[in-house]
Structure 1
Amino acid sequence: MSFRSWCAGKNTNLIFPNNPKRELILQTCKYPKVQQMCGSSNTLISTNDENLFSTTGNYNFTSDLFQKTNDPVIKLYCGYYHHLIATESGRVFCMGGNNTNQFPNLTNGTISELTEQTFFKKNNLKVIDFSGGEYHSLFLCDNGELYGLGDNSYFQLESNPSTIQKKEVPVHSNKRNEVTLLSENVKLISNGLSNRHTLYITEDNTLWTQGWNNYMQCGVESTKQKVETPTIIKYLDTKNINKMCTGFELSVIMIDNSEIYTAGYNLSNGHDIKVSAFTKLKFFNNIPIKQISTGSRHCLVLAEDNKLYGFGEGKCSLPFHNSPREIELPEYDFDQELAIGSCCYSIFIYTAQNTGVIKDFQNLYESQEFTDYQINEVKVHKSILEFRLDIKIEKAQEILKQYTKKELDIFLRWVYFDKIIDKELILSICDKFGISSPNEKNLKNDLIKLYKDEDSKNFNVLVKDEDYDDENDEDDEDEQSGFEEIPVHKFILLARSGLFREMFKNINENEKNINKITDYSKKSIESLEILFKYFYTNTIELTADDDPILIVEELSDATEYYQLAKFCNLNGELKKIQSQFKI
């Protein structure tokens, strides 16, 4: 599987070659299995095999620290000069520059565990979210306490006397070289890139703002350029806010993954406008949103269907100055899931490993639905193990029964959806199954091979033959007369379609071992054969005998009808067909 990235903007800190026009360009991403990417003065990349890459800025290195400690990276965040890294166990690390002496023990270009340098570990506090500003950092702990560290010249780290009950609020200081409690009872903080202002929401759904406000990016009208004390924003539906991003002169708030509000810098007809109150962008009405990311004056919006939009003003040649517009990605084939990131003056978009197929199989494993076999108290799907390991389940059990429940879980996460948590353990188990490398054997390629193996398909979907004449077959008592069969694997239907999962749930005990199920969609056999092939391959490829107009027409509602997961990209594949055949 190849991984690609698209980058545009000021060419000082990203992973693409010299780009004087700052236009959107495509390149193959040399870092495999990217799961997160962010940057400012440097670009930080983490991958699914727990390697961490720092590239193209002041420091360049590769670290497998998190792979060795078996503590996966779950979040990255880049300030202007420093990077923050959170792991699954709740540890927080810092790397990069130390321009404001936030981290006295940090050596430039190295990784240090933050919890050893502050009182978080000492006070048994687990950091669950954080944000890196230009010269400051925010840390939200699991008990709702919000802490700040670093430069406070813009009042973005002022403590909130209205929420803090535990101790006296410190007087204003330009420096917070020691961790300072900013607020209690916080449930959500703003994430941004190089921001000098702060937004956070407390448990009573109060939205607080403070800091640099030269473009009214704090969301409140003020005669001063700085909001010097924590101030309440009262005019938004704060209880449903699920994401807040702060750039230099721009703030973006997302409500219910469907509404976007902005305050601060705005370009309208080529003129600078300061928007002092958060204003809804009507452009995004009824567009389900997956991710937003802000830079200095621009914002990227990634929709659930992998469409990409941008607005604001960035140092790149993209057509989204006046209002939000869709960004066309050169040579994007809709096969892989997208993710986005922003730097101050740049943007990047990249393909993530998790296609719809991988996500579906991950969900099937974690839901534990329809499991039919057990190894050391671990429930599994017999057909999936036999398919992936190319061995009968009884032989597989002989090998796997010697491992602990935890070790089995680690191995099965690779079997089901290619997740490599403990590489040495997985390698040793794979060796016993004659698999040379788990990296070279992936689910997507295995499923394509499985689709071509007609002899292994031991289940059938019955499809009504529209040309069958019921009147001429009145004496035929066979209930399946007039139906044609499409051979499949049952576990493919279970993994990929919510509709078929519901149908199997409703089968009574006497029918548990049936090898057929009827499709009632009234779609043609031609369309359903292509749909079921998509379940295996995640792509739609038509032959000369296929009718593209019929396929597009009949499968246009298939995502909803067959209850395909939101990250499946059937609609994107159909759009490729429409474009190819100019429908």
Structure 2
Amino acid sequence: MKCCDQNLIFFLQSNSYLSQDLEKLLKNGYISDCEIQNIPVHKILIETRIGKSFDLIKKYLESNCKLNEIQDLLKWIYCDQMINSKRTNEILNHFGIQNAHKTKLLTNDLKQLLFDEQTSDFKLVVKNEEDEEEEEEEEEEEEELYIHKFILAARSGLFLNMFQNIEENFQKVKDYSGKSLETIELLISFLYTDELPITADTDQEFIKEEFEDIVEYYQLNPTIPMMNIFEKCSKI
């Protein structure tokens, strides 16, 4: 299953969990790759939300904005929240963003990054067992999923620990959860959007059983009511 298929039926979960996880990333500066006014930030996320090059954004903010104004803007970038909405909107207007609360939602921006090879800085290698009958006769097939480290660090305790505790700047890792490619694609989609793409052809009971294990394996935010999501999905 390709998660970007336009024929998918989506169950939209509130993006509050995504915002919670990204807020922790901002607050603690985990795996940041650049700074604005000495605040650790994440380049890909900043560029995606603002739609301009990081250097241009950094130069303008540090030359024209107070520290608290930059902090308020970052709150919007990471959490879709506006503390000083008037000033934050003024800054966003400078970058050509109008009506940010309607036109630039966090989940919509992150969807642009989903499985995007050009902007990704990490690969998750997943075993692909599309035809189990031929598995013994053919060499094991693997698929590389293009992901972003800041998403993995924000949403998965397993990856956060990995990125923090391994000195080597590795670019890919193999998935050892033992779950199907379809389940891993669903997981990645959820990490980026708080949405689960479910099709009429999806074996929801099978995916639910696999997800129960994978949520624990990847150490997702324990407050996310994953099983409630599946119960509602089954009623679509």
TM-score (norm 2): 0.82
* 2:13 is the alignment partner of 1:335: yes
Specify the alignment match of 2:47 in structure 1. Answer: 386
Contact 1:459 1:490 (8 Å CA) reproduced = yes
Counterpart pick for 2:223 among 559, 564, 567: 567
* 2:121 is the alignment partner of 1:461: no
Tell me by how many angstroms 1:365 deviates.
0.8
Distance 2:30 2:136 in 1: 38
Specify the alignment match of 1:408 in structure 2. Answer: 70
Specify the alignment match of 1:487 in structure 2. Answer: 146
Distance 2:177 2:223 in 1: 22
Greater fraction of residues in helix: 2
Tell me by how many angstroms 1:418 deviates.
1.6
Q: 1:573 to 1:400 in 2, by over 3 A?
A: same
Tell me by how many angstroms 1:577 deviates.
3.4
* 2:55 is the alignment partner of 1:399: no
Contact 1:411 1:426 (8 Å CA) reproduced = yes
Paired-residue identity, %: 35
Say which one has the larger Rg.
1
Alignment of 1:74-113 (within 5 A): none
Greater fraction of residues in strand: 1
TM-score (norm 1): 0.35
1:529 counterpart SS class: helix
| Residue-by-residue CA offset, 1:29-80 (whole Å, 9 max, x unaligned) | xxxxxxxxxxxxxxxxxxxxxxxxxxxxxxxxxxxxxxxxxxxxxxxxxxxx
The amino acid of 2:166's aligned partner reads I
Counterpart pick for 1:421 among 83, 94, 105: 83
Specify the alignment match of 2:172 in structure 1. Answer: 516
Q: 1:427 to 1:578 in 2, by over 3 A?
A: closer
Counterpart pick for 1:432 among 77, 89, 94: 94
| Residue-by-residue CA offset, 1:89-139 (whole Å, 9 max, x unaligned) | xxxxxxxxxxxxxxxxxxxxxxxxxxxxxxxxxxxxxxxxxxxxxxxxxxx
Alignment of 1:39-188 (within 5 A): none
Contact 1:556 1:574 (8 Å CA) reproduced = no
Structure 1 unaligned spans of 5+: 1-332, 337-353, 474-480
Distance 1:561 1:394 in 2: 37
Specify the alignment match of 2:110 in structure 1. Answer: 447
Distance 1:376 1:449 in 2: 27
Contact 1:539 1:573 (8 Å CA) reproduced = no
Tell me by how many angstroms 1:458 deviates.
4.4
| Residue-by-residue CA offset, 1:258-282 (whole Å, 9 max, x unaligned) | xxxxxxxxxxxxxxxxxxxxxxxxx
Distance 1:498 1:365 in 2: 15
Structure 2 unaligned spans of 5+: 1-10
| Residue-by-residue CA offset, 1:291-325 (whole Å, 9 max, x unaligned) | xxxxxxxxxxxxxxxxxxxxxxxxxxxxxxxxxxx
Distance 2:37 2:193 in 1: 32
Counterpart pick for 2:162 among 503, 512, 536: 503
* 2:30 is the alignment partner of 1:369: yes
Alignment of 1:265-284 (within 5 A): none
The amino acid of 1:518's aligned partner reads K
Tell me by how many angstroms 1:366 deviates.
0.9
Contact 1:368 1:379 (8 Å CA) reproduced = yes
2:209 counterpart SS class: helix
Q: What CA RMSD, in Å, does the superposition of the two structures yield over aligned residues?
A: 2.6
Distance 1:522 1:504 in 2: 21
2:195 counterpart SS class: coil
Contact 1:377 1:405 (8 Å CA) reproduced = no
Tell me by how many angstroms 1:578 deviates.
4.0
Q: 1:483 to 1:556 in 2, by over 3 A?
A: same
Contact 1:376 1:401 (8 Å CA) reproduced = yes
Contact 1:461 1:519 (8 Å CA) reproduced = yes
